[in-house]
Amino acid sequence: MNIIKTKTEIAKYVSEKKEQNSSVGFVPTMGALHQGHASLISFGLERHHYIVVSIFVNPTQFNNATDLEKYPRTLSQDVSFLSTYKNKVVIYAPTPQEVYGDQVVSKQYNFKGIETVMEGTHRPGHFDGVGTVLNHLFRQVTPDEAFFGEKDYQQLLIVKKLVEIEKLPLKITGCPIHRQENGLAMSSRNARLTTQQLEEATFIYKILRQVKKDFDTKSARALRAWVSRQFENNPHLRLEYFEISNSKNLRPLSRKRTHQKYRAFIAAFAGEIRLIDNMALN
């Protein structure tokens, strides 16, 4: 399997493919690959001849040193996971210096308010880190299109804004959340859950499903109160936030408006592992 480690080599690989009139998609990841990533790659391969998968645990997007240290790093497993795609998929696994140069620091962005709610409130600096690394990676890889999972829905909106701000010539496409049979959203962090926690974490999905069912008949306020109570009565999961927001600008819902789309968002801890999930409500 072709593993590229430098920006010069990845630029050469992509420009050679483009010279041959092939198009190149991009799936940026932090590794610990799972079926959710596989579904992004399949989406990409339906539209492009080749897919670059970057594997890079980005230090600037972690606001918690323990979280960064404990983030799963499984490069050799990731390589064998991707080997089934043969030469259709190439791995870009750079060092921090290769991505950032000498200063591994974030640029400060103004994402027009999308960065100030939910993940932005609870993980200060996170979206500056995400924006900075993707700005570097997009410029190094120069793909035609990049694919992101809707599990990180707020991140998806941030990336769309980033491309506008940095005037980058690529398309950003969101792909549906990939779930286990029991509803748990696929995430690299699931690798850190015990078998029991994996089962208990399906509670998050069950809550989102119920909120969706009740969305037409109950107010946002009543739903927020109901969700808080459910988590208070659950000894296994600690709720960090629950929000119902406008799908376009992530403003918290106060009064439902016709023709507007809304989504429910949850962040919760199973032990020390932080999980997020969301669901379209209408």
| Coil/strand/helix, residue 48 | coil
Told to check if 30 binds ligand PAF by CB under 6 A, we report yes
Told to check if 154 binds ligand PAF by CB under 6 A, we report no
Told to check if 128 binds ligand PAF by CB under 6 A, we report no
| CB count in 10 Å sphere of residue 258 | 5
| Paired sense of beta strands 262-270 and 237-246, if any | antiparallel
Binding residues: 30-37, 61, 149-152, 155, 186-189
Q: Least CB distance from residue 150 to ligand PAF, whole Å?
A: 11
Instruction: State how far the Cα of 255 lies from the Cα of 177, in Å rounded to an integer.
Output: 27
Residue 38-67 contact track with ligand PAF, rule CB under 6 A, x = bound: --------------------x--x------
Q: Least CB distance from residue 155 to ligand PAF, whole Å?
A: 6
| CB count in 10 Å sphere of residue 141 | 23
Told to check if 174 binds ligand PAF by CB under 6 A, we report no
Instruction: State how far the Cα of 126 lies from the Cα of 62, in Å rounded to an integer.
Output: 6
Residue 76-115 contact track with ligand PAF, rule CB under 6 A, x = bound: ----------------------------------------
Q: Which secondary-structure segment (H or E) carries 6?
A: none
Contact segment (CB under 6 A) with ligand PAF among 22-30, 92-100, 220-228, 239-247 equals 22-30
Active-site annotation holds for 122: no
Report residue 86 as tokens.
């043969």
Over the range 29-67, which residues count as b (16 or more CB within 10 Å of their CB) and which as e?
Answer: bbbbbbebbbbbbebbbeebebbbbbbbbbbbbbeeeee
Told to check if 131 binds ligand PAF by CB under 6 A, we report no
Q: Least CB distance from residue 54 to ligand PAF, whole Å?
A: 7
Binding residues for ATP: 30-37, 149-152, 186-189
Name which of 50 and 56 has its Cβ closer to ligand PAF. Answer: 56
Say which residue the tokens 């208990």 belong to.
200
Instruction: State how far the Cα of 93 lies from the Cα of 28, in Å rounded to an integer.
Output: 10
Site residues for ligand PAF per CB under 6 A: 28-30, 58, 61, 130, 133-134, 152, 155
